[in-house]
Structure 1
Amino acid sequence: MTTKCRVKTITPLASNTFQVILQPLTPIEFEAGQYLFVVMGANDKRPFSIANSPYSQGGELELHIGAAEHNRYALDVVDLMRDAQATNSEIDIDAPHGSATISLNSDRPMLLIAGGTGFSYVRSILDYCIAHNKPNPIYLYWGAKQEEQLYALSELRQLEKDQNHFHFIPVVELSAKEWKGKVGNVLQAIETDFESLEHFDIYIAGRFEMAGAARDIFTRHKHAKKERMFADAYSFI
């Protein structure tokens, strides 16, 4: 469904990463883990995960957009948002989309895996679980090139202290001397930490090649069930 939105706020989260809050003029019903298209033109729609829970107050939609100078695909969207906000005009979105949604009735432990701004996908699922007191053990692995790109680091560490069933494991490729967490590839970190993923529901967001590698590695070597692995990428690869 296509609807118009006001751009409420555009806030830097990290270098070249922005949080955008949209206010749909018509309420949008969606499930945790779905995405929307920002309509740039008649034949140009660009997908972004919805980062907030479906039951967020006020019906707002939150996006996390990585928009470096070399990435015009995303930067053009941020420019559109800025123009709309500056002129108090509206943008069009097409939503909701995606079938890699939270499995509401499952009591299996959950493994959430994010690369970069793929965090927005797992953030929606995590927020839903916390808001609804879902008791499943939750493990969130978030990989980035540098610590500065883990823009919700302090928030997630506090959530880990507050929620006994939530475990947060950040992984960076390039570490500063002060970094106390894991260093390397996020999928390799998971391989090391888990003997088996047989009983897990696994949710993944990142580059298509990361999602493909995760499915291959975890089903071959960690007993993961292919049908219990969820990612929008799996509709295309």
Structure 2
Amino acid sequence: MAYNVTLRQSGRQFQVEPDEPVLSAALRQGVGLPYGCKNGACGSCKGAVVSGEVEQRAHSSSALSNDEKTRGMALFCCATANCDLVIDVREIAGVGDVQVKKLPCRVNAIERKADDVVVLKLQLPANERLQYLAGQYIEFILKDGKRRSYSMASAPHAEGPLELHIRHMPGGAFTDHVFSTMKEREILRFEGPLGTFFLREDSEKPIVLLASGTGFAPIKAIVEHAFFKNTDRPMTLYWGGRRKKDLYLMDLARQWEQDHPNFKFVPVLSEADAGDAWTGRSGFVHRAVIEDLPDLSGYQVYACGAPVMVEAAQRDFTSHHGLPADEFYADSFTSEADLVNAV
């Protein structure tokens, strides 16, 4: 017997089957709920259970704490219904209009940008075109059925291959292959587009873009698509890394700043050494935002990268610097290791 789920803010309803995650049921029926990793690691799908009861499956304690569970919060990507539910979670317009596909692709190019970063370019079949929102991601379907998620760095209007930015995770089955044995023309399979990290175009607020490492990838797609659509909202990109090599496309970001008067670029290094000859900003990248913009009440923030950076930015920006909670949008780059301490 299916249960009814009602969204408190809009009154919209959908049905969820027993043992089916609430998020999966929503997406299956074209209801756009926020999500990122879909495996309980990032916390993007968190919301409140207003009435009814859910069973919360294994998840990262950083994504949903015991205190939050006590207060009636849930991760809907790994929560199943025990009865009819009323839930309070932000509904995302537009996501349900984009078709999710499973497609083959061919490796078009593997371009090394740093010792641990490659730009991977993928060619789709001649009769296929992937429609997506700038900032979304795809999931590679590996031979053993496991999946690996990567954001698209190419903007949806761009012609040519899909572009992904991949950092080597030593010991990671997929990235070890990418950095050692993958060859051009290799065939891969993926599902996408996925995710709810994309620019909200119904606002006129100035934009803060916050990236660490390869979290620059979806930010690149968002920025280039905003330029394509002649967005005149002020945009400031804060891109952080440990060393200068981590900002592997810094020249591109500097070129954007030269070409577009509404765009500003602030690179930040946390562990620069003498070899970097660094004279720019230093420290944690989200702290650079606070130093420049102590009052964020009139901004939108888009953050992408390491979970520790995303979590710190969300906490500090919303708790101490005036950013409305519903104006913080994030894509936390979680990995298998982020679920090691699942509860």
Q: TM-score scaled to structure 2, two decimals?
A: 0.64
Q: Which has the higher helix share?
A: 1
Partner residue in 1 for 2:118: 18
Q: Is 2:210 the counterpart of 1:113?
A: yes
Q: Is 2:243 the counterpart of 1:149?
A: no
Partner residue in 2 for 1:172: 269
Give the Cα separation in 1 of the matches to 2:264 and 2:230.
Answer: 15
Which range is displaced more, 142-151 or 172-181?
172-181
Q: Is 2:183 the counterpart of 1:183?
A: no
Q: Kindly report the root-mean-square deviation, in angstroms, between the aligned alpha carbons of the 2 structures.
A: 2.2
SS of the equivalent of 1:41 reads coil
Give the Cα separation in 2 of the matches to 1:19 and 1:37.
Answer: 16
Change (3 A) 1:234 1:67: closer
Give the Cα separation in 2 of the matches to 1:71 and 1:173.
Answer: 25
* Offset of residue 192 of structure 1: 1.0
Unpaired stretches in structure 1, ≥5 consecutive residues = none
Give the Cα separation in 2 of the matches to 1:64 and 1:81.
Answer: 17
- 1:94 paired residue among 180, 191, 197: 191
Q: Is 2:309 the counterpart of 1:210?
A: yes
SS of the equivalent of 1:211 reads helix
Give the Cα separation in 2 of the matches to 1:165 and 1:201.
Answer: 15
Q: Is the 8 A contact 2:304 2:310 kept in 1?
A: yes
* Offset of residue 81 of structure 1: 7.7
SS of the equivalent of 2:182 reads helix
Change (3 A) 1:73 1:108: farther
Change (3 A) 1:142 1:73: farther
Partner residue in 2 for 1:36: 138
Change (3 A) 1:17 1:213: same
Give the Cα separation in 2 of the matches to 1:4 and 1:193.
Answer: 45
Superposed CA deviations along residues 97-130 of structure 1, whole A, max 9, x for unmatched, are 0011111222111110001011101111011111
Change (3 A) 1:71 1:140: farther
Give the Cα separation in 2 of the matches to 1:121 and 1:234.
Answer: 11
Give the Cα separation in 1 of the matches to 2:322 and 2:209.
Answer: 17
For CA contacts below 8 A with separation 6 or more, give which structure has more relative contact order.
1
Partner residue in 1 for 2:257: 160
Unpaired stretches in structure 2, ≥5 consecutive residues = 1-100
1:38 partner amino acid: F
2:199 partner amino acid: I
Which range is displaced more, 221-230 or 72-81?
72-81
Give the Cα separation in 1 of the matches to 2:158 and 2:180.
Answer: 24
Count residues in correspondence. 232
SS of the equivalent of 1:117 reads helix
**Pairing 1:33-72 to 2, within 5 Å after superposition:** 33-58=135-160, 60-68=161-169, 70-72=170-172
SS of the equivalent of 2:156 reads coil
* Offset of residue 39 of structure 1: 1.2
Q: Is the 8 A contact 2:268 2:280 kept in 1?
A: yes
* Offset of residue 23 of structure 1: 1.0
Give the Cα separation in 2 of the matches to 1:48 and 1:81.
Answer: 19
Give the Cα separation in 1 of the matches to 2:282 and 2:239.
Answer: 11
Write out the 4+ residue segments of structure 1 that deviate beyond 6 Å after TM superposition. 234-237
Partner residue in 1 for 2:296: 197
Q: From the CA coordinates, give the structure whose radius of gyration is larger.
A: 2
Give the Cα separation in 2 of the matches to 1:74 and 1:217.
Answer: 34
